[in-house]
Each structure stands twice: as structure tokens, then as C-alpha cells.
Amino acid sequence: MSWLGNWLFHPMLAAGAAAIALPILIHILSRRRFQVVRWAAMDFLLSAARRNRRRVRLEQLILLALRCLVVVLLALMVARPFVRPGSAMALLGSGARTERIVVLDDSFSMGYRIGAGETVFGRACRAVERFARWMSDESPMDTLTVVRTSAPAQPIAALPDLSEESLGRLQDVLSAASPSDRPSNLDEALRSVARMAAQAPVQANLAIYIVSDMQLSDWLPGEATTAPSTAPAQMAVRDALAELMTRGRDAPRLTLVDVGAERPANVAVTAIEATTARDVAGVRSRFEIGISNFSDAPVGDAELRLSIADQALPPVILPRLAPRQTLRQSVEVAFTQEGFDRLLAELILPAGVDRLPLDDRRAVGLTVASSVPVLIVNGEPSADGYRDEVLLLRTALAPPGRVSSGFDVRVITDEQLETTDLRGYDAIVLANVYRVDEPAQRRLESYVRDGGGLVIFLGDQVDPGLYNERLYADGRGLLPAELLETVNAPGSDGQSIAEYDASHPVLRAFAGEASELLRGTRFYAYYGARPAGDTPMATSPATQESGVRPAASVLARLDDPDRSPLLIERVLGAGRVVLCTSTADLEWNSWGRDPSFVPVMLQLAQHVARRDPVRGQVTVGEPIRLPLDPSVWLQRAILKLPTYPSDPPLTIDARSVEGGLRLEWERTERAGLHQFELQSTRGESSTRVIAVNPDPRESDLRRATADDLRSALGDVKFDYVRDIDALTGDAAGARRELWWPIALLVVALLMVEHGLARQFGARG
């Protein structure tokens, strides 16, 4: 009798309707049997009775029917029947089918633990199940489609109706579902829903439900603490919703269901960045690791565990993190040998502090070089080493002895520059070079645009007119500044450094008390310079660049009245150029004798050196692009995913692209290490690691309030639901009981039956 529960509060009491048999039984039993005796006096009466028999039988059947109906209605009344508004409208022919589409947020923030063994995603799945079951009771002929934000084009459930069989399939699908490692991609999910809505029958209503933890960063990205200004992302969500709400027919009903934790707290590793251009075997490399406290309470007793491949390094004890603080922790590590390597950072927190483990670790793949090749062009060579322009610079970059600085330095003259292949060097230094002819200028410019670094020292050999004409070129060339006249400092003390950017990698070591080491250097002569402003990027049709090249930045200034620039930097393409307006030797300054010279020159060369062309880390969902030199590597490679060895290794082939080969992998669905096993043309194998890390913006779990959502969505109308019970409501409260009209009907029928019985009896 379970089917009776769809329209009765007390189905068992409906069994009282069987009492309908009582009036019928009484009627049958009341029919008496007589012995037939012929009596002439009665023949007349019997003849009259035969003429009225049909009328009497009809009257008896009417009374019997009324009494049976009263019994049935009494049983129905105590069983408390009800109807639903939707069902009633459908019975009246005015209720249309509703296409219901549920957008289920399965971003990695939904893996936040809210209890023993329960996550926000589990709560969301239960909410969808409860909603589907409630709708099965209310409108069983509606359709239900469930899509995930990680793959909105592939619905995980498409139910043609809400029958018990369909609900069972939905429950199986949701039980097997789990959060992805992707960030929430609401705009794409909503655009996919809009495409589905366009294919829905025109006569059907449409209802959209977004079940999510309602992260503030999804709806108001600019409010996120670690995310850059992402107003376009906010507009993308708003535009997608606007497209959905104006689809050429009745606007769908939009409901936002918030299943997030009440006050979520999270601490995450949000960045791991190399501050040195190249990692060199035997030389310490510096990294900055970002740790963000996304909670409203301070976090202490945290440590950072580092490892190179499988070798654990001493842990780093972190200072106390204030609420909403992001810490940039500097660490130094040394790689023992050249080749491919990886650095992993893992955050260890006290028990119960962090409930979202995915973002507690981060990694980066690295290419460790044997050395950084540097080419120095000597504009004033001399047999006397102390008069040579680059002796001090060369010694600073590559000192003699067993300890390596990591640089492999070659010195040439300016005449040799025209015939030297620049592609084998990561950095080039022009030291007091008289001039750079046009072919060399074009080669240097191409070299820097492709990622190489260039440092220019001036001196008495430089022709400022040629430099301005060919290298500056009205701000479109290599030189970061226009050269003015040579300035000779008055007196014998010269000028010192007055101000500098202590946050810049080249000068960072001289922050605080160490600044005196830098300010003690004296500069007796230097060039005045006018740093370049914003200029068009294209210098010739061959560059194919457009837009505006950013202005040069001044890293250090002297204390003369004009605050003349000493170090000027500007980016060109993928590379950078740094200009020093004084000399590299002791002819115009005392820098080579001062303790700040060696660290500044080392950091300067490291800063401008060519970066590793391969990004050692990508964000989940971003493609991996791994260029290969066909003269070194074979085309075929083996890929091991983070799920290896559960999933077998894959064989992939590199594509032929301009300049060589490139391995491509699009399906970066899971965070972790992607290992590419490469085979060299000499038969040697190496493993190149690319780390796929979670999006740091997803780690900020702050929830958007109803007011935030209204601000984000503008004119888009929606219903906000914090509790699933508010969406489904009390099923009983949504039903309309019929007992009282049945009671009135019973009273009316009894009165009719009584009146008819008296009338029929009197006439009989």
C-alpha cells in the first residue's frame, strides 16, 4: 500500500473503506423469502406492485449508493488525504513540465572537512539527493540534469523523470562522485547550462540550482587576498548568468544553494618561486615560498618541510601567522648534480588547524645546469691586468680556486662580437664598448627578445651619440635610457649612492644595516641618463610585436643634485637589460675595491641570465608544454601521472613545431608530479618533472553572503538558500489536506439520504 502514501497521511486507515460492504450486506439480508399462496383478493394488489417495482428498486439503489458513499468518505476522512499544488495544477491542465538543472560545484575547496568523515562536497551531494527525492514526490514527471563545474559539458546524471529507478541511479552516481582538483569554473559551467537550456522544449519551464560552498573568490574575485585583480572573471560569471536568464523565452528560476561551512579556516602553500634565474649544481639557489593564513585566527607552531626529489631537508620553523596574512618565506637549497630535479614544499600544522589537505603542499620541476655561461665583451683590454676593463668583473663572477660561483665566463673583444654565436650564453656584458654596429645590434636585440640578459657598463670609450642612435632609438631599442653628458663629480670624494630599491633581487642583500656597505662606494664620473618611458614595442616589422613597452625602472640613484640614475633596468621581450652609468673597473669609481662589488655583480648576472624556458609548474587545468631539442632528445616519451602506479604509464609523441619538438599534455586533472621519461639520441634516459599545483585562489574559503551575491550579479534575480530544508520545505507543509471538505460532504450526503428515505417511505 506504499502507493497510497503519495496522497494519504494515514494509508492504513484507508482500509476502513471496506465498511462499504455493510450497507450492501444489510440490504441483502433484509430481503425475506415468502411462501407463495394464491389469494384472489391479492391479485389486484400484486398487479399494482409489479407496475411500481422498477421505481422502488431505483429508490433503494439510490439510498444504498448514498449510504455506501458515506462509509467510504468517512474512511477517507480519517486517512487524511491531501493534494500537492503542483499535482493539482497538472490535473487542471495548467501545470507544465519543468527542466531542472543542478550545477554541482566539485572544485577542490569542496573537499573541506566539516566533521568526522564528512566534507562539504558530501553535504552537497546529500542536498541534491534530498532535493531530487522531494521533487519526485512533488512533480515526478519533471526532468533533472546534474552537471559538475569541473566538466560542465558532460552531465553526470540526466534523468528523464523522477521515478524510483531514476532516483536510484542518481544516488549511485553521487555516492561515487568526489571533488576534483580544479578551481571552480562557474562561468564556463553556466555557459554550458545555457546551451542545454537552448535545447530544452519550449513548453517546459526551466529551473537552475547552483549547489556550492559560495566562495567569495568565485563571485567577487577582487576581494580574494592572494588573487590579483580579476574583475574580468567576475564579469564573466555575471555575463554567463545574464545570457542564461535572457534565453529568448521565460527566464528560468535561479536558486543558489549554499552548503559551505559556517566559518571555514584554511592555511595553504600558495606559491613556490625561484628568485635566481638558473639553478646550478653546487651553488645555492634561492626560492620564495608563499604561505597564506586564510582564517580569522592566528596560526602558530607551523613548519615547512622541504625535499629535493626524495631527499628530505631540515624543516623551516615558520613564524606565527596573523589572520589573513601571507608570508613570503625565503629558503636556500643546493643541488648536488646537474640534470632534471624537483623541489617539494609541504606545510605541517597542528592537528585540527587545517581541514583542506590538498593545498598544503606544492612542488616545482627544475633544470639544474652545470654553470651559467656568461659572455663579457671587453671594450678596453690591456696587457696590464689592473688596467684591463673587465679584470675585476671577471674575477667577481668566476673567482679562481676550487669554489665555484656557478658562472662560466668567456671574455672577447668588441671586434669578436660580430662573429660570436650568442645563442650559447645566458648573459652578455658590454663593458665600455666603443660602439655596436648595426648587424651586432640586431643580433643582440634578437638575443634579448628571446630571453637572454644584457648588462651594459659605460666608460670613456663609449660614443654616446652612436649609443643613442642605434641602441636607444627613441626608447624602442636595447638601451634603457638616453645618454646625456659625462658628469665629473666635484672634489675628491665623488658621489655615493643616495637611494636604491632594497626589494629588488640585485640589491636585496643590502636592506637594513647592510646598506652602509653599498653607500660607501664612491663614484667620480658617470653619464647623465634619461630613463625611457612607455614606448611602442615594435622596432621593426620583423618583430611582430604590438602594444606599449613599459618604461624603464631606476634601481639606484646617486646623491648629486640631479639624483642621477646609476642602475637602470628595462624589459625587452622575454629578456631584460640593465645599464650601469659608470664603469666596471676602477677608472670612474671605487666599486671594485668595496665589499659590495662582488655580491652585486653576482646577483646582477644571475638576475639578467636567461630563465629556464620550461615552466616547472602549472596550475591544475593548464596544459603542459615541454619543448625538446631534436638533436638531443627522441620524439617519443613515457608519461607517469600522479596516480602512477595505480594508472599505467602512457606513451606520447612530441609534435613538430617551429624550432624543434614539443611534448604536450592537456589533461592535467590531478595535482601532483607529472614525470616525462625522455630518451636521448645517445641512448641515455632522463626524467623531466613538471609539477601540477592547485590554484591558490581556491584556497581562500571565505563565503559570499547574500548581499555579496546581489552585488556580484547585479540585475540577475535569484533565490538564496542557506539550508536545504528551506528549499525542499516540510513536505507535509506543502500539502493541502482534504479532510474538512470531505466531512462537509459526508454531512450533506447524510442529510440528503435522510430526506430521500423519508420521501420514498411516505410515498411507498
668: domain CATH number is 2.60.40
More confident residue, 13 or 716: 716
Task: State how far the alpha carbon of 242 is from the alpha carbons of 102, 187, 350, 506, in Å.
Answer: 17, 11, 45, 49
User: What is d(CA 562, CA 585) in angstroms, rounded to the nearest whole number?
Assistant: 24
Q: Where residue 400 falls among pLDDT bands split at 50, 70, 90?
A: confident
Between the alpha carbon of residue 229 and those of residues 74, 239, 696, the distances in Å are 69, 18, 14
Total domains, the chain: 5
The answer to whether residue 365 sits within a structural domain is: no
Residues 449 and 536 in one domain: yes
Q: What is the mean pLDDT of residues 608-618?
A: 84
Cell of 159: 534523468
Averaged confidence pLDDT in the chain: 84
**Residues 493 and 639 occupy one common structural domain:** no
> Residues 397, 477: one domain?
yes
741 in a domain, yes or no? Answer: no
Residue 389: band (very low, low, confident or very high) from pLDDT cuts 50, 70, 90 = very high
pLDDT of amino acid 228: 42
Summarize the confidence of residues 268-279 as an average pLDDT. 90
Domain boundary among 561, 578, 608: 608
Is the same domain home to 93 and 77? no
Comparing 760 with 679, which gets the higher pLDDT?
679
Confidence of residue 252 (pLDDT cuts 50, 70, 90): confident
Domain co-membership, 75 together with 119: no
Residue 113 placed within a domain: yes
In this predicted model, what pLDDT tens digit does every residue of 155-193 receive, in sequence order? Answer: 999 888 888 888 899 999 999 999 999 998 888 888 888
Question: What is the phi/psi pair of residue 734, to 5°?
Answer: -85, -5
User: Residue 233 above 50 pLDDT?
Assistant: no
Looking at the structure, tell me whether residues 319 and 385 fall in a common domain: no
The answer to whether residue 362 is domain-embedded is no
The angle formed by the CA atoms of residues 333, 336 and 340, to the nearest 5 degrees, is: 90
pLDDT score, position 22: 65
pLDDT band of residue 10 (cuts 50, 70, 90) is low
CATH code of the domain covering residue 249: 3.40.50.410
By percentage, how much of the chain surpasses pLDDT 70? Answer: 82
Average pLDDT for residues 98-108, to the nearest whole number? Answer: 91
Query: What pLDDT score was predicted for residue 250?
Result: 63
338 is a domain residue: yes
Lowest mean pLDDT among 29-33, 211-215, 688-692: 29-33
Domain that holds residue 662: 617-693
Q: What separation in angstroms does the CA of 566 have from each of 144, 497, 633? A: 68, 8, 44
Q: Each residue of 459-483: pLDDT tens digit?
A: 999 999 999 999 999 989 999 999 9
Predicted pLDDT of residue 722: 84
CA atoms 522, 526, 528, 532: torsion sign: negative
How wide is the angle at C-alpha 290 spanned by C-alphas 284 and 294, nearest 5°?
A: 160
Whether 637 is covered by a domain: the verdict is: yes
What confidence tier does 45 reach under pLDDT thresholds 50, 70, 90? low
Instruction: Write out the DSSP string of 31-69.
Output: ---------HHHHHHHHHHHHHHHHHHHHHHHHHHHHHH
Same-domain pairing of 311 and 395: no
Q: What is the pLDDT of residues 716-727, one digit of tens each?
A: 888 898 877 666
In this prediction, residues 90-101 reach a mean pLDDT of: 60
What is residue 62's predicted lDDT score, i.e. its pLDDT? 83
pLDDT band per the 50, 70, 90 thresholds, residue 246:
low
Q: Are residues 432 and 479 in the same domain?
A: yes
Q: Do 488 and 602 share a domain, yes or no? A: yes
pLDDT at 83 exceeding the cut of 70: no
Which triple of cell numbers denotes residue 622?
593548464
- CA dist 760 and 757 (Å) reads 5
pLDDT at 259 over 60: yes
Please tell me whether residues 314 and 389 are part of one structural domain.
no
Q: Are residues 454 and 598 in the same domain?
A: yes
Position 227 pLDDT exceeds 60: no
Q: Residue 315: inside a domain, yes or no?
A: yes
The structure's pTM equals 0.75
Question: Do 388 and 504 fall into the same domain?
Answer: yes
Average pLDDT over residues 625-631: 90
Q: Please state which of the ranges 198-212, 292-306, 417-431, 655-669 shows the lowest mean pLDDT.
A: 198-212
Give percent above pLDDT 90 in the chain: 47
- Indicate whether 251 pLDDT > 60: yes
pLDDT at residue 446, rounded to an integer: 93
* pLDDT for the residue numbered 710: 87
pLDDT band for position 90 (cuts 50, 70, 90): very low
CATH code where residue 444 lies: 3.40.50.880
Residue 456 covered by a domain: yes
